[in-house]
Chain A
Amino acid sequence: MRPKPISPIHSTQYLQIKDAAISFDTPRGKFTAVKNFNLTIKRGETIAIIGHSGCGKSTILNAIGGLLQLTNGEVILGGVTVDAPGPDRGIVFQNYSLLPWLSVYANIFEAVDSVLTGKTKAEKAAIVESFLKKVNLWEHRDKKPAQISGGMKQRVAIARAFAIQPEVLLLDEPFGALDALTKSSLHEELVTLLSLDNQTDTVVLVTHDIAEAIFLSDRIVVMTNGPDATIGEIIDVPIPRPRDKREIIHLREYVEIHDRLLYLLMDAFAVHRKMAA
């Protein structure tokens, strides 16, 4: 695991979310999930968005992914306004979202096949093979998603997102459904994958796990509670990389960030029971 160097095409305003608001029409009137959301992300930066369930963090991620239209404001990626999904963004969904009738191999191949249209079949097959090997699933390539564990499913989903070679990786609570041990080993695998990949990947990670946010990200965006959720605070994570899970937890910075996040989530933006339901 090497540290993430600053890439030559480093841009400080690579991904911008400007004055974003998202509302839904419900039978009881308009429901505004997120509003006044402003965030500028540097190229190669890893951002964690943390908040309570239902605070609209996944909504923001889906808007960056182009799966959801903003009611107000815009998402600008590399100078271009985002209005649809595109091959420059790879998404890892909350619940794996593998196609159950396709093998592990085919799940990745179909994505590669439709995104990397310029490549030959052999080149595509080589890409799928290399990513399956990177996540140690090559020998399970012929299994169906129902035949593998949750951790393996999530590794397939991660390999699928990486295999289309996107510039931005969007991770929607990717490890939420996994047990602590599996989660931990997947965190390290993810960091390895990110550093293997030419280190220009910009990552937006949605999570509600404080330790995960600190371990993986450069900045942590803490959201207030919905409705009308917005950014409550942005916390820098000045812990040098590579980070060792066992060691960083004793660092003063880690403890401070951890305490601050805990305070924000438990007290400042605590869930009001009535609204949480």
Chain B
Amino acid sequence: MKEENVLRATWPKTTLRHFTFPALKQSLLSFAQSMLWMLAGFSVLLVFWAIVSSVSKGALPGPFATLQVLWQLVSHPFYDNGPNDKGIGIQLFSSIVRVFIGFGLGSLVAIPMGVLIGANEVCKKLFYPLVQLLRPVSPLAWFPIGLAVFKHAGEATIFVIFITSLWPTLINTSFGVASVPDDHRNVARAFGFSKAKYLTKILIPFSLPHILTGLRLSIGVAWLVIVAGEMLSGGIGIGFFVWDSWNALSLERVMSAIILIGVVGLLLDRGFDLIAKKFSYT
């Protein structure tokens, strides 16, 4: 097999999992480089922030004051002095838990619905107009409905997150399922794949990257919505913390919360990106 010899010669023995030393050095270098760019970007922001703060004569707290408050907050994240005074860690954690419960339940509904809508023409005609009607509605509009049904603000917030998480997952799943290429379908037909085999060996593997993209978008939007949801619901959570800080007239705490919300959102997004990369087959 001449062709294989050529291939072996050009095919590196190392795959991505085994870094060689020069490759490691290269990736460290490029990492350091992107960190430098990021730091430069932050410096620009800090300077701009300081200027706005001084122009507004302290109406907007400056970066230095904010970072001091942020440091205080993160150095005692889990203290608990009763219902209205809890550490930032507890607030963030409770928001994350709510997001994951709502998102998990939403995904459990959205993925099968998406598969149905994508695979079945009747289901598509039946449900897709509904999806298009409900998708543009701000999930917060569902808050009173959740409150009426569940009688509790906490559950109502989870309900809002559930609704939020439905649409991107549902739409991406149905798109993925509907776009299985004819080539793959023909393989299934030519070799007489059973329904189960078609589902597990073609349909799901093909749509998995689309489903994961949907989940990643869903968790992103859910994290956006939780802040507003908890401003409405009160009680506990990072959204409540922001509103509570505003009522206590501490914009430093609000700004700190904004930074932390951003960090958590970024981590969630990166996490899902990593999962999606693990399952991509190209």
Given the interface pairs A97-B184, A99-B201, A101-B281, the reply to whether A152 lies near B189 with Cβ below 8 Å is no
Indicate if B28 sits at the interface (CB-CB under 8 A): no
- Determine the distance from Cα of A91 to Cα of B191 in the docked complex, in whole angstroms: 9
Residues of A within 8 A of B11 (CB): 147
- Determine the distance from Cα of A146 to Cα of B187 in the docked complex, in whole angstroms: 17
Asked whether, in the complex, the Cβ of B4 is within 8 Å of the Cβ of A152, the reply is yes
Chain A contact-residue range equals 20 to 34
Indicate if A85 sits at the interface (CB-CB under 8 A): yes
Asked whether, in the complex, the Cβ of A95 is within 8 Å of the Cβ of B282, the reply is no
Asked whether, in the complex, the Cβ of A85 is within 8 Å of the Cβ of B190, the reply is yes
- Determine the distance from Cα of A66 to Cα of B7 in the docked complex, in whole angstroms: 36
Asked whether, in the complex, the Cβ of B183 is within 8 Å of the Cβ of A152, the reply is no
Asked whether, in the complex, the Cβ of B191 is within 8 Å of the Cβ of A99, the reply is no
Asked whether, in the complex, the Cβ of B205 is within 8 Å of the Cβ of A101, the reply is yes
Asked whether, in the complex, the Cβ of A114 is within 8 Å of the Cβ of B205, the reply is no
Residues of B within 8 A of A114 (CB): 191-194, 197
How would you classify the secondary structure of chain B's contact residues: helix, strand, loop or mixed? helix
Indicate if A199 sits at the interface (CB-CB under 8 A): no
> What 0/1 pattern do residues 183 to 227 of B give for CB contact below 8 A with A?
110110111111001000110011000000000000000000000
Q: Chain A: which residue is nearest B192 at the CB level?
A: A114
Asked whether, in the complex, the Cβ of B3 is within 8 Å of the Cβ of A100, the reply is no
- Determine the distance from Cα of A165 to Cα of B197 in the docked complex, in whole angstroms: 20
Question: Nearest-CB distance from B40 to chain A (Å)?
Answer: 37
Question: Nearest-CB distance from A263 to chain B (Å)?
Answer: 34
> What 0/1 pattern do residues 129 to 154 of A give for CB contact below 8 A with B?
00000001000000010111101100
Residues of B within 8 A of A86 (CB): 192
Given the interface pairs A97-B186, A146-B281, the reply to whether A182 lies near B191 with Cβ below 8 Å is no
Given the interface pairs A99-B187, A110-B197, A114-B193, the reply to whether A185 lies near B2 with Cβ below 8 Å is yes
- Determine the distance from Cα of A147 to Cα of B281 in the docked complex, in whole angstroms: 11
> What 0/1 pattern do residues 1 to 22 of B give for CB contact below 8 A with A?
1111001000100000000000
Asked whether, in the complex, the Cβ of A100 is within 8 Å of the Cβ of B282, the reply is yes
Q: Chain A: which residue is nearest B209 at the CB level?
A: A101
Q: Chain A: which residue is nearest B15 at the CB level?
A: A147
- Give me the interface of A with B, judged by CB distance under 8 Å: 65-67, 85-87, 89-91, 93, 95, 97, 99-102, 110-111, 113-115, 136, 144, 146-149, 151-152, 160, 164, 181-182, 185
Q: Given A87-B192, A97-B186, list of 17 further CB < 8 A pairs?
A: A65-B190, A67-B186, A85-B190, A91-B190, A97-B184, A99-B205, A100-B282, A110-B191, A114-B191, A115-B191, A136-B4, A144-B281, A146-B281, A152-B4, A152-B7, A181-B3, A185-B3
- Give me the interface of B with A, judged by CB distance under 8 Å: 1-4, 7, 11, 183-184, 186-187, 189-194, 197, 201-202, 205-206, 281-282
9 A-B pairs with C-beta separation under 8 A: A65-B190, A85-B192, A91-B190, A97-B186, A101-B206, A110-B191, A110-B193, A114-B194, A160-B191
